[in-house]
Amino acid sequence: MTRLLALLTLLGCSSPDAPEPFSFPDPTDAPELRGPGGPTGTFTEAELFEPCAYLNGGPEDYDHHNLVAPYRGHLVMPWAPEWSDGGVSLFEFDDPCAPVKVSDSFDTDMRETHAIGFAHVRVGPYQGDWTVVNHTSGIQIWDISDAEAPVVAGVLELPNVFYPDSYSRVVLSVFWQYPYLYAAAANNGIFVIDTLDPYEPTLVKHVPFEPGLRSGGVFALGDTLLVTGAETEDAIVLDISDPENPLPIPGGRFDVADRDGTPREYYHGNRIGDLALFARKGGGSGPMIYDISDPTQPAFVGDLPNSDNGGYIFYDEGFLFMGESGVGRVYDARDMADIKVVGEVGVDKVPGDLDTLTPYGHVALLSADEEAVDDQATAVIPWRTDPDVDGPRVLAVGPKDGATGVAVTTRIGVGFNEMIEPSTVFAGSIRIVDEAGDPVVAWGSAQEAFATLSPKSPLDRDTTYTVTVEADGVTDANGHAIGETYTWSFTTAP
């Protein structure tokens, strides 16, 4: 039999037990939504920037909230105070002023979470729906395959990560490029984690910084990782083309300065495409924006100083959203040289420490991480009269178009101009082919406005690959898909 199989191979025949060659599924072949999708309905001008509903996590909720995110037609809200005792809740959110809770959960070791990534694994032993949050001593991976019963699947405790100090040693945020996860762990630097098996995540590498950076945020686009600080004045861009070995980029560590060139303390950062966003803290609040498309020369783009105290910052289709302790503000940043305030909500309407304002279509979720009114730690705030009708637009990709010498271990990243529906990211909606047109098998994952395709095997050397973001594939929370196919190419190292 062995000789027969060998002969068949020589003749170009395949074994009857050989797997079928991989072919791309249709771009629209995402898993069926389990919820009704993003917010609908219209608002009057008088209803804008007035709270119309509140979200509560569950009976154990301490009313310490942060961001929200879409997943398979539901709004997903992690909730936890800085010390522990939190959970993950899902809501139907098509009527944003009458949200319906689908589930709530609880785990004593979950702590305050500032970022949340998702992976829908389509085949294999780990098939299902997964999300990742912070643990008191590391990270937690939750199985959300049953929308009505989220449950902790895997935990990884990381060295020298611990509470009670909420800024010095804890994990502050995560970014998922499944199967790799990056964790920002304050004064510890960052950790690289292998999450291929969500039940048994394993530590790959610890990356401390010298001089130190209190690592607050991690944001990956393909082969680069932006590491922002927590109450610091500088940030770092790393080369992660080898995901297990992040490397410094010459010039990639930079001071975050204002329009006058004065370095400014910021509370937290974010990334949208190739723009680094910072929420100014020292000497007032307001956004500061840098262009990191050339990570060797990060460049100031724009800012708008305010008199409050910056918290977290998000972006949606040209607008910035910031919690600024005593107020939540929306900024028009379509012209980043002339940023303007669109509207705001203060503590007179939503009491508490208003650190987070998350865009979600034509509403935003304003969250307090302490001092909130009972069961009102997250308020639904209409900020625009009409629902979002525009599909996502590509802002940046990684590796760059025309790049050469690309590592064969790279992942492919696409940065959009708004949060996307994570389950619509798969090897079908985003496609990688080699010079012969043969498809590359890859995992898909997404976080906020970033999509990642991770090839399951190293790419071939000295080969040009073409990537297409297929029209009608990737969607936003409202189900609107990218309108036109976006294509680019890069070449691996010889």
pLDDT tens per residue, range 203-235: 999 999 999 999 999 999 999 999 999 999 999
pLDDT at 166: 81
Distance CA 189, CA 211 (A): 10
**Residue 205: CB atoms within 10 Å:** 13
pTM for this prediction: 0.95
pLDDT at 445: 98
Distance CA 332, CA 345 (A): 16
Q: What are 38's two structure tokens?
A: 């993003």
Q: In which band, very low, low, confident or very high, does the pLDDT at 19 lie, cut at 50, 70 and 90?
A: low
DSSP 8-state class, residue 361:
T
State which fold the 393-492 domain adopts. Answer: Immunoglobulin-like (2.60.40)
- CB 455 within 8 Å of CB 448: no
Between strands 486-492 and 403-406, the pairing is: parallel
Mean pLDDT for all residues in the chain = 95
Query: pLDDT of 119-145, one tens digit each?
Result: 999 999 999 999 999 999 999 999 999
Sheet strands side by side (includes 442-447)? 151-157, 138-143, 128-135, 117-121, 442-447, 450-455, 412-416, 394-398
Distance CA 480, CA 271 (A): 22
How far the first Cα of the chain sits from its last, in Å, is: 39
Query: pLDDT of 468-492, one tens digit each?
Result: 999 999 999 999 999 999 999 999 9
Looking at residues 83-93, what average pLDDT do you find?
97
Query: pLDDT of 276-311, one tens digit each?
Result: 999 999 778 899 999 999 999 999 999 999 888 889
Query: pLDDT of 442-452, one tens digit each?
Result: 999 999 999 99
**For residue 150, which of 54, 69, 77 has the smallest C-alpha distance?**
77
pLDDT at 3: 38
Please give the helix or strand (H or E) that residue 10 lies within, else none. helix 2-10
Q: Is residue 156 predicted with pLDDT exceeding 70?
A: yes
